[in-house]
Amino acid sequence: MEPVLPLNSLSYLGHATVMIHLDGLNVLTDPVLGDRVLYLRRMGISGRKWLAQQPKPDIILLSHLHLDHLHLPTLRRLPKETPILLPRGAARWLRPLLPQPLVELAPGEEKTFGKVSITVTRAVHGNDPPKTVLDLAQGYFLKGSHTIYFPGDTDIFPEMEEMCEHGLDVALLPIWGWGPTLGVGHMDPERAAEALTHLCPRFVVPIHWASFRPLGPIWHFFTFLHRPGPDFVRFAAEYAPETCVHLLKPGEALILDDGSVIPCDKPPGDDVG
C-alpha cells in the first residue's frame, strides 16, 4: 500500500530532488537517490528509505543533464511507465539509456496532467544559447490549486518577474552546490535572496545545499556544508521580508494547505513566535 500523504504538500530529499504532491499528481524533480554520485557522498536520509515513504511518481521533471541532476541508475529504478519531461534536444541522447517515455519541451511550452499544468521556464546555466547538450537547462512552473516553481539550476533572469505577476505560492530555490565554490549559472545565498524580489513567492524552500559532500571526513569542517541555509534565511529577511522561508532538512515535508504547520524560519535573534 502506498503512503497516504496530504493532498498538497512537498517532501525534500536533498539537492534538487523533491516530491511534489499537487491536486492528486505526484511530481518528482531531478531524482538522485543513490548514496554516492561519483566522488560525492550523500548527507542525511537514505534516498531509498525516502522513496519508500513516497507514493509512485506520476511525472518526472528533468531540468538538465549534469550528473548531480541526471542520475541514470535512479531513473532506471523508477517506474517504466512514468513520463520524463526534459529539455528539447536531450531525448536522442537518453532514449537508448532509459525505459521511460521521454517528453521533450522547450521554454514556454506547456503540458497538462489532470488538474495541474506544467509550463517550462527558461534557466541560465551554462552557455546561453546552448552549444552542446550539456548546456540545455530549464525550469518548471506548476499550476494547480497552488503554484510552484522548480528552477533546476539557474541564475537570475528577467522572465522571473512574470511568475511574480501571475502569483507564486512556493519557490524551490537553489542556494549553493556540492563543493566549496560555485561556477557560473548558480545562485549563492544572497543571489537567491535577490531572486525573491523578482519572483515574489509566498513561501520559499532553499534547495541544492548540504546534500552531498566530496569523499573524505575533512570536508565536515568546511563551512559550505552548513552555512548556506542560515545565510539564506538572513539575506531573505533583508531582501524579501514578506516571503516565508521554510528551511527543510533532508526528509522533511511542507504541507501547503496550512502554512502554520512549519513556522517561518527567521534569522538568529529574531522572534520566531
Domain definitions of the chain by residue range: 9-255
What is residue 139's predicted lDDT score, i.e. its pLDDT?
Answer: 98
What is residue 272's predicted lDDT score, i.e. its pLDDT?
Answer: 42
Place of cell 498538497: 8
* pLDDT tens for the chain, residues 1 to 273: 555 556 799 999 999 999 999 999 999 999 999 888 877 888 888 898 999 999 999 999 999 999 889 999 999 999 999 999 999 999 999 999 999 999 999 999 999 999 999 999 999 997 777 778 888 999 999 999 999 999 999 999 999 999 999 899 999 999 998 878 888 889 999 999 999 999 999 999 999 998 887 777 776 667 777 899 999 999 999 999 999 999 999 999 999 975 445 678 888 765 543
Q: What is the dihedral of CA 28, 51, 17, 273, to 10 degrees?
A: 110
Listed in sequence order, the residues at least 6 apart from 24 whose beta carbon sits closer than 8 Å to its beta carbon are 7, 114, 115
Sign, CA dihedral 47-48-49-55, equals positive
Q: Indicate the SS3 state at residue 148.
A: strand
For residue 210, which of 9, 13, 39, 10 has the smallest C-alpha distance?
13
What is residue 258's predicted lDDT score, i.e. its pLDDT?
Answer: 58
* Region of 78 on the Ramachandran plot (φ > 0 left; ψ -120 to 50 alpha; else beta): beta
Judge contact between 167 and 214, C-beta under 8 A. no
- For domain 9-255, give the fold: Metallo-beta-lactamase; Chain A (3.60.15)
End-to-end CA distance of the chain: 38
What is residue 259's predicted lDDT score, i.e. its pLDDT?
Answer: 47
